[in-house]
Amino acid sequence: MPTQLELALEVATTQCQRWKNRKVRYRPPGEVFNPSCAEVVRLPERDARAFTLENHYSGSFPAARFCVGLMVKPRLGREYLGGVAVYSVPMTQSVIPAVIPGLSPSEGIELGRLVLLDTPEVGVSNAESWFIARAHRMMRHHLPEIRGVVAYCDPIERRDASGQLVKRSHTGVIYRASGCTFRGMSSPRTLLLTPDGQIASERALSKLRTGDQGRDYAEAQLRHRGAPPRRRHEAAVDWLQRLRADGFLRPLRHPGNLRFCWHWRKPHGTAEL
């Protein structure tokens, strides 16, 4: 019997993924993108953040370094923001050398978010690959030291505490169509999910445990998702243990994310070998 990952890979090869209001949608293949109605622009982080938080299933925004927007100009109607690519700081310094051997941490960046709306203009096949190519080009123009981009896809669906599906499988079909290289899977790990089916960021939980900068925001995020408040004089470590014991944070064993990369052998502005 095929595994969930194998089924996801099979289904995803025939569908085109889009987003709206944090809900994933799939469009049939064969619809053609018209680039004459689109323009790629550098986007202020505040605009990229607002768009991503409104539309991406995660409801979160990474540590951005460079943001690109896909502006759409319909024949009838007003111009609107139809997509966002967010290039972000990888989780650790070891990510870039591990995924793209030969590159130092400073020579790589992560495509932390890629979100396109499900609209008639951009909710079609090949819009993402067109956008990715031009977003990469713009990013490299402004960050010429970058020689590689890594991207991750979570191949496992996720459900909330009531069993409702909140995230379908993501298998990187568009990345493969955009000329990237598959680099295997990241290490298996155990995730902690909140009742709404979202991942409690390990980076944020670590800040709470250690008392590092950002701990107040991390606590506020858990409270926003429905966590009970800390008791008087209750240490953060004890609070997190209580959230696990009470079932607010539930473990999910994860096989690892799919890893992809784009690698340029020369810095931007020099001839490729």
Q: What is the pLDDT of residues 180-196, one digit of tens each?
A: 999 999 999 999 999 99
Show the domains of the chain with their CATH numbers: 4-188+256-263 (3.40.630.30), 201-248 (no CATH)
Pairwise CA distance, residues 77 & 245, whole Å = 53
Q: Where are the alpha helices (DSSP H) in 56-195?
A: 95-99, 127-142, 173-177
Mean pLDDT throughout 198-208? Answer: 90
pLDDT tens digits, 14-47: 555 554 555 555 555 556 778 888 999 999 999 9
Residue 8, C-beta contacts closer than 8 angstroms, at least 6 positions apart:
155, 156, 157, 168, 169, 171
pLDDT tens digits, 123-172: 666 888 999 999 999 999 999 999 999 999 999 888 888 998 888 888 88
Burial 190-201 (b: 16+ CB within 10 A, else e): ebbbbeebbbbb
Q: End-to-end CA distance of the chain, in Å?
A: 45
% of the chain at pLDDT higher than 90: 65
Question: What pLDDT does 11 receive?
Answer: 43
Of the listed ranges 29-33, 46-50, 227-231, the least confidently predicted one is: 29-33
Confidence of residue 121 (pLDDT cuts 50, 70, 90): confident
Question: What pLDDT does 137 receive?
Answer: 97
- CB contact at 8 A, 113 and 19: no
Q: Is the pLDDT of residue 110 over 90?
A: yes
Mean pLDDT throughout 56-84? Answer: 92
pTM: 0.79
Q: Is the pLDDT of residue 52 over 50?
A: yes
Coil/strand/helix, residue 264: coil
Supply φ then ψ for residue 162, to 5 degrees: -90, -5
Q: Where are the alpha helices (DSSP H) in 60-195?
A: 95-99, 127-142, 173-177
Pairwise pLDDT comparison (62 vs 270), residue with the higher score: 62
Find, among 179, 159, 175, the residue nearest to 167 by Cα: 159
Q: Is the pLDDT of residue 4 over 70?
A: no
The angle subtended at Cα 230 by Cα 227 and Cα 232, nearest 5°, is 160
How many residues are given for the chain? 273
Of the listed ranges 109-113, 117-121, 129-133, 137-141, the least confidently predicted one is: 117-121
Question: What pLDDT does 131 receive?
Answer: 95
Mean pLDDT throughout 105-112? Answer: 98
Question: What pLDDT does 265 receive?
Answer: 83
Q: Is the pLDDT of residue 227 over 80?
A: yes
Find, among 199, 211, 197, the residue nearest to 239 by Cα: 211
% of the chain at pLDDT higher than 70: 85
Amino acid at position 63, single letter: A
